């Protein structure tokens, strides 16, 4: 570690330098103009999975549709997921919706006003609880996200693997030590913003950085090595065969109810295989598919489309089956026919929506 910054005076200097930098360089973002905990929470959940530029339209649409916590609590889950469509990590939207309901129904609509209370809520982890507590209530708790890990690891030369179990405790303790108790909100915003626009992962702007006289990474040319990140989790390959059943211009979709990716969203009938196949005979042991193939014809195949999730790589192939209008058709549970307008309204994974845009929506 670099010594000057570890001295008490150095710590004070760190915070004031950082806050000065923030006042000069921060971006003007809508969630920085509010201390409404609901809106701060919403922005944090959106920004956990996307960059500001991509997340902004979602945030603006959400606050327009659900301006208050009570509006979100009163919404139908399907509508919430539809609005979230394209952001991914749909369980976060579902958790947020359920937590909004809990706050309204069990806490009289009063948003918990302290870190200790916030962290008890479903879907609110240590970072989000600290962000809401400090930004909305100025509670002196350090909010440590990926940006903060990077900034602290580089400046202080911390080599702890940030994916290890003790990392959060270590980095949070340091951030807490640096945080000025009377201005927690600005300090947290400043550290996060500094990581996002000055001390970026790949190309940190070291030459114009106010910390380049004390930064360990700059002094040692170790920007690319810090923070230390353990091995990435293995990515699992999955092979999805989707059957798009069309009858009289309507499509059969089903709600995904099992605990898997995209719970609560809508997709087509799915047969998952151990490996990729282009041969329908290999899938015909599925009795629903066998029944459909007897009745209709395959009018198109498309794919494979490769879709990446955090820990999964999906290879999706679509088989479009057209059914004759005169015959009635058996559909599995959770499945129903929808016309084009209804299909558009359903919440769908991006993969499914891309297929529909290409081949179904005119």
Catalytic residue check, 44:
yes
Instruction: Confirm or reject binding of residue 191 to ligand SF4 (CB under 6 A).
Output: no
Q: Where are the beta strands (DSSP E) in the chain?
A: 236-247, 250-255, 266-267, 269-273, 297-308, 312-323, 335-338
Residues in the chain: 362
Instruction: Confirm or reject binding of residue 228 to ligand SF4 (CB under 6 A).
Output: no
Instruction: Confirm or reject binding of residue 213 to ligand SF4 (CB under 6 A).
Output: no
Please identify, using beta-carbon distances, which residue of 213 and 342 lies nearer to ligand SF4.
Answer: 213
Q: How far is the CB of 146 from ligand SF4 (least distance, A)?
A: 14
Instruction: Confirm or reject binding of residue 212 to ligand SF4 (CB under 6 A).
Output: yes
Distance from chain centroid for Cα 93: 9
- Residue 138: CB partners within 8 Å, gap ≥ 6? 183, 184, 185
Instruction: Confirm or reject binding of residue 204 to ligand SF4 (CB under 6 A).
Output: yes
Instruction: Confirm or reject binding of residue 302 to ligand SF4 (CB under 6 A).
Output: no
Report the residue from 154, 307, 320, 348 that binds ligand SF4 according to the rule CB under 6 A.
154
Choose the stretch contacting ligand SF4; rule: CB under 6 A; options: 49-57, 196-204, 286-294, 340-348. Answer: 196-204
- DSSP assignment letter at 265: -
Report the residue from 211, 262, 292, 355 that binds ligand SF4 according to the rule CB under 6 A.
211
Q: How far is the CB of 161 from ligand SF4 (least distance, A)?
A: 18
What is the rounded distance in angstroms from the CA atom of residue 241 to the CA atom of residue 305?
A: 11
Instruction: Confirm or reject binding of residue 217 to ligand SF4 (CB under 6 A).
Output: yes
Q: Hey, is 123 helix, strand or coil?
A: coil
Q: Which neighbouring-strand residues pair with 145?
A: none
Burial 130-147 (b: 16+ CB within 10 A, else e): bbbbbbbbbbbbbbbbbb
Choose the stretch contacting ligand SF4; rule: CB under 6 A; options: 2-10, 29-37, 128-136, 209-217. Answer: 209-217
Q: Which of 134, 194, 349 is nearest to 261 (CA)?
A: 349
Instruction: Confirm or reject binding of residue 2 to ligand SF4 (CB under 6 A).
Output: no
Question: Interface residues with ligand SF4 (CB under 6 A)?
Answer: 154-155, 198-199, 204-206, 209, 211-212, 215, 217-218, 223
Catalytic residues: 44
């Amino acid at each position: 570690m670099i010594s000057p910054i570890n001295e008490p005076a150095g710590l004070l200097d760190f915070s004031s330098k950082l806050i000065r930098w923030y006042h000069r360089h921060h971006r003007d973002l809508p969630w920085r103009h509010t201390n409404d905990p609901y809106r701060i929470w919403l922005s944090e959940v959106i920004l956990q999975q996307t960059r500001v530029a991509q997340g902004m339209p979602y945030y603006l649409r959400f606050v327009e549709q659900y301006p208050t916590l009570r509006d979100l609590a009163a919404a139908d889950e399907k509508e919430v997921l539809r609005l979230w469509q394209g952001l991914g990590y749909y369980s976060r939207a579902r958790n947020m919706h359920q937590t909004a309901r809990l706050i309204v129904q069990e806490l009289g609509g009063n948003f918990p006003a302290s870190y200790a209370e916030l962290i008890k809520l479903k879907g609110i982890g240590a970072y989000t609880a600290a962000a809401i507590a400090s930004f909305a209530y100025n509670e002196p708790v350090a909010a440590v996200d990926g940006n903060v890990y990077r900034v602290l690891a580089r400046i202080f030369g911390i080599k702890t693997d940030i994916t290890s179990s003790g990392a959060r405790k270590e980095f949070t303790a340091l951030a807490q030590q640096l945080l000025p108790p009377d201005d927690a909100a600005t300090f947290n915003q400043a550290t996060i913003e500094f990581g996002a626009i000055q001390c970026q992962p790949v190309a940190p702007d070291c030459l114009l950085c106010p910390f380049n006289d004390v930064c360990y990474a700059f002094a040692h040319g170790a920007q690319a090595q810090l923070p230390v990140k353990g091995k990435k989790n293995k990515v699992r390959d999955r092979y999805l065969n989707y059957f798009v059943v069309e009858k009289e211009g309507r499509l059969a979709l089903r709600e995904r109810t099992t605990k898997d990716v995209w719970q609560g969203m809508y997709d087509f009938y799915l047969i998952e295989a151990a490996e990729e196949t282009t041969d329908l005979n290999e899938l015909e042991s599925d009795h629903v598919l066998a029944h459909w193939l007897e009745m209709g014809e395959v009018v198109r195949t498309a794919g494979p489309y490769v879709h990446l999730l955090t820990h999964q790589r999906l290879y999706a192939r679509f088989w479009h089956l057209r059914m004759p209008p005169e015959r009635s058709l058996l559909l599995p549970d959770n499945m129903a026919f929808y016309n084009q307008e209804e299909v558009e309204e359903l919440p769908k994974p991006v993969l499914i929506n891309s297929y529909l845009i290409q081949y179904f929506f005119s």
